[in-house]
Structure 1
Amino acid sequence: MFKQWQKWRKKSRYRAVSGVCVPLVTGMAATTVMEFTDRIFLSHYSVNALSAVVPAGVTAFLILCFLGGVAGYVSVFIAQYHGAGMPEKIGITLWQGIFFTLLSGVILLLIACFVSTPLFILVGHNPEIRVLEIQYFTILCQGGMLHVAIQALSGFFTGRGMTRPVMSANIIGMVVNIPLNYALINGIWGMPELGIRGAAIATVVSWGVVVLCLAPPIFSRYFILEFKLLETIALDRDIMGKLFKYGVPGALQFSLDIFAFTFFILIVGRMGIVPLAASNIVISISSLAFMPALGFSFGISSMTGQALGKGRPEEARAAAWSGIHLLMLYTMSLGVLFLCAPETIISFFMKKGTMGGSYEEILRVGSIILRFVTVYILLDVFYMIFAAVLKGAGDTRFLLLAISAATLSCMLIPLFVGITYWGMGIYAAWGCVVFFIGILCLLISWRYHNGKWEQMLVIRN
């Protein structure tokens, strides 16, 4: 056993993974803190605002994840070009991400104008909540191009393993967001009281701040000369075509994952205020595990792309397992906290005066749901890291097929039939969530161990 440990230590990449992923995790933590405080402020503002912010926010996030996922896939191309020693291709790749960002802005404005109201009427939530959902969703879509721009610009840095600028930009965005959020929601410091609209506006402003932090370093004199950024402002049909070929399935994979949870929240809303509010709170809490895992997945994708670009798939494997070990330490610690102090954690999101007689019931239901969350966040570690390796290699078609099959068979059909026709309760519904993540974990783990991804390279296909 000791000899095996020494052998692993020699090939492990804990330091390299930490150097790339920890800044991304820190940046994701800043995003998590923004969402966390956003929902705490709204929970203290009104129970309707709390009930509306998660369905509307997750629905907007679903759309933004797809568009941002395609734009952000430039990081995989940049990583492989960087690993293969082809810096002349990095500038033109970045421009394809920027052009796609502009297209996304048009799409999001059309969604804000023509889709917002019909969508939430179709959902069928309480009319008072529906109005708030439409307001929050519309504002996020109107400013959503900034979110997509962040993904494209971040790809320039993460693809080359330079993750500190991304971390710094996200932290600055958080510092701006939190006080602005509080002021616009509650109407203090000379700001108007806008409630849930104020939360959305503060989020969009923070996105703009992050873009302003990322863009100037990219277009500095040094990078302009090194990557010929001003000479490569053109639409490259080959690279743009590959961005759609690999980026769209990759983005759809993640978007379908988010869609499964969006559908879950929307249909749980039919059970009543208590199940919806408790689920919203628990999902907000679970982001403490999800966002770091997402940060690690971005880092591992980049490291996989660089390793394959250099023709060294063994480095990608070592990075993946090192990432799993580090992430499991954090996730298991979080799971212990969820099991030992659930009511204390949930109470941060509630104020007795705004919850009426539902306070104790939401606390009880939420505490039980956290047990389900403890199981699925551990499974999610393997799913996220192995999926990151496949994405970094360009095996996005399999990812899309796997997530599509699991979403339909393990989430959408069981939840719809169970809640609509069989009277499924909230705990059975959360059981479906754990089953869904478990199946995904098995499918993606099998593909990873199959090893076909080691022979893939998006820049040569």
Structure 2
Amino acid sequence: MFFSSLRARWGMPNGYRDVLGVGLPLVISMASSTVMQFTDRLFLSHYSVDAIAAALPAAIVNLLFLLFFTGVAGYANVFIAQYCGSAAPARVGAALWQAIHFSLMGGVLLALLWFVAPFMFSFAGHPAPVVRLEVIYFRVLTVGAVFMLLSSALSCFFSGRGLTRPVMVANIAAMIINIPLDYALIYGAWGLPELGIAGAGIATVAGWALTFFFLALATFTRRHDAMFGVLRNWRFERALFLRMMRYGLPSGVNYFFEIFAITFFVFVIGRLGRVELAATNIVFSIDSLAFLPMLGLNIAVSTMVGQAIGAGKPDAAGTAAMNTLHLALAWMLCIGVMFIIFPGVLLDMFRPQDVSVQEYVPIREAGVVLMRFVAFYCLFDALSLVFFGAVKGAGDTYFVMWAMVVGCACMVAVIVIMRLWFDAGLIALWVVLTCYAVALSLSALLRYRGGKWRSMKVVETVRRSPDAGPC
């Protein structure tokens, strides 16, 4: 009975096969990005304990701003999906270009953060050597962030149409270049200078630039211009841009507060001590191996829901969401079991060269306990990723934004109270983080089950052209 049900769900429209067809290349793409980040932190953890202590806070603060802009630009994915579902491929190019215009503006604004970096990281209260490295790493990432934003916009042209292999190929190519470049620039090899944490940042930016280059070549072709207007529709369209901002800005704010919560958490942990900060940074780095690939399924379910809503088929959207959830839970369950059974093996991969086995013992012991928290809440992360992705694919971005804002505010308030009045330590703060993850997942589940998303749509009503080609 069980296996016959699996077979039925595999072959049905928007079943497991369709979800994997759209989602697996995106999962591999996200896994490629995760491997690049993992490699950064693995090499830096062996380079020095200060480098790995600085890498995660700097990377998270960069993401705090970067993901706001990618959240807005990346919402072009839903517009393109709904235009395709509505059989209006001629509008795809216009939607893509509004995301490109926004990405260019965002790249300029992010580069200006160069000047405020020293103030931001000195405010955290981390040791002076760590602050200096945080500023260096952050500045390199923000100056090169425009390539990441443009790549996010261009990837929507493919993911919104459910054709995700070009995105996968571009990200794999970037990973292949990034890993050896990472090693060479951090340690100084093959004639390149030893740049330490700055080298890690330069290698990451090079990966972003290469991804943008590949996606641009694949996007701006005469064939795509004839079908979707990717070249001729380059102009700024005020009405379409403002509509994209209406739905995309809440998505950006959602990402901003999601990362802000983690950033605040890491900065508070940093005030507890070097051991607590290093253990938390390492565990988050390992957790990213499980969590970030699932963002591929988040994009996939938004795409499939968007296409179904554009076609006026909310039941098909619901089928896609539930089948995506099954796959996400299966992945997270496997990851959670691995985190419980093999925490020491994973943690030992991050022991810095300048830390002896004896000195690493307290970091390792703390990390083993924290890995159990991750193993528990990763299942709830799957619920959040799938159900928030589903309702955003229909256009329900304001609820997702407010759920994230309220959840973040509550978590920050509880952490401040526990630190100021109860002198809470590492374990108590991780309990708060876990409760935050569980609360978000429950809000996502309740909103999805409420069904309001079924009657939403983000694109204008376009008359179906009988001779319009498929997306």
- Provide TM-score, normalisation by structure 2: 0.95
Q: Specify the alignment match of 1:188 in structure 2.
A: 189
1:131–1:458 distance in 2 versus 1, CA, 3 Å: same
CA distance in structure 1 between the partners assigned to 2:334 and 2:460 by the alignment: 42
Q: Specify the alignment match of 2:455 in structure 1.
A: 455
Q: Specify the alignment match of 2:198 in structure 1.
A: 197
Question: 1:352 deviation in Å?
Answer: 5.6
Contact 2:49 2:352 in 1 (8 A): no
SS of equivalent to 1:459: coil
Contact 1:45 1:354 in 2 (8 A): no
1:80 aligns with 2:82: yes
Question: 1:156 deviation in Å?
Answer: 0.6
1:298 aligns with 2:299: yes
Q: Specify the alignment match of 1:240 in structure 2.
A: 241
Q: Specify the alignment match of 2:232 in structure 1.
A: 231
Q: How does 1:134-145 map to 2 (within 5 A)?
A: 134-145=135-146
Deviates more, 1:170-179 or 1:224-233: 224-233
CA distance in structure 1 between the partners assigned to 2:119 and 2:420 by the alignment: 21
CA distance in structure 1 between the partners assigned to 2:407 and 2:440 by the alignment: 7
Q: How does 1:239-388 map to 2 (within 5 A)?
A: 239-351=240-352, 353-354=354-355, 357-388=358-389
Q: Specify the alignment match of 1:89 in structure 2.
A: 91
1:215–1:8 distance in 2 versus 1, CA, 3 Å: closer
Instruction: Write the letter of the residue equivalent to 1:422.
Output: F
1:24 to 20, 26, 34: 26
CA distance in structure 1 between the partners assigned to 2:353 and 2:111 by the alignment: 38
CA distance in structure 1 between the partners assigned to 2:416 and 2:272 by the alignment: 12
Give the RMSD, CA atoms, in angstroms. 1.5
1:56 to 55, 58, 77: 58
Q: Specify the alignment match of 1:40 in structure 2.
A: 42
CA distance in structure 1 between the partners assigned to 2:353 and 2:376 by the alignment: 29
CA distance in structure 1 between the partners assigned to 2:416 and 2:355 by the alignment: 31
Question: 1:253 deviation in Å?
Answer: 1.0
Q: Specify the alignment match of 2:422 in structure 1.
A: 422
Q: Specify the alignment match of 1:107 in structure 2.
A: 109
CA distance in structure 1 between the partners assigned to 2:323 and 2:329 by the alignment: 10
Q: Specify the alignment match of 1:444 in structure 2.
A: 444
Question: 1:130 deviation in Å?
Answer: 0.2
SS of equivalent to 1:354: coil
CA distance in structure 2 between the partners assigned to 1:191 and 1:87 by the alignment: 47
Alignment size in residue pairs: 459
Contact 2:47 2:354 in 1 (8 A): no
CA distance in structure 2 between the partners assigned to 1:109 and 1:155 by the alignment: 23
CA distance in structure 1 between the partners assigned to 2:130 and 2:101 by the alignment: 36
Contact 1:402 1:443 in 2 (8 A): yes
Deviates more, 1:357-366 or 1:134-143: 357-366
CA distance in structure 2 between the partners assigned to 1:245 and 1:358 by the alignment: 52
List alignment gaps of at least 5 residues for structure 1: none
CA distance in structure 2 between the partners assigned to 1:457 and 1:45 by the alignment: 50
Q: Specify the alignment match of 1:117 in structure 2.
A: 118
Deviates more, 1:223-232 or 1:260-269: 223-232
Deviation string 1:278-325 (CA, Å, 9 cap, x unpaired) is 000000000111112111001110111000000111111111111111
Q: Specify the alignment match of 2:464 in structure 1.
A: none
Contact 2:94 2:237 in 1 (8 A): yes
1:450–1:274 distance in 2 versus 1, CA, 3 Å: same
Q: Specify the alignment match of 2:155 in structure 1.
A: 154
Question: 1:231 deviation in Å?
Answer: 2.1
Question: 1:224 deviation in Å?
Answer: 1.5
Contact 1:93 1:239 in 2 (8 A): yes
Q: Specify the alignment match of 2:166 in structure 1.
A: 165
Deviation string 1:5-61 (CA, Å, 9 cap, x unpaired) is 787665661000000000000001101111111101000000000000000001101
SS of equivalent to 1:77: helix
Instruction: Write the letter of the residue equivalent to 1:45.
Output: Y
Identical aligned pairs, as a percentage?
A: 42
Deviation string 1:87-123 (CA, Å, 9 cap, x unpaired) is 11111111101111110121012112x2211111111
Contact 1:352 1:359 in 2 (8 A): no
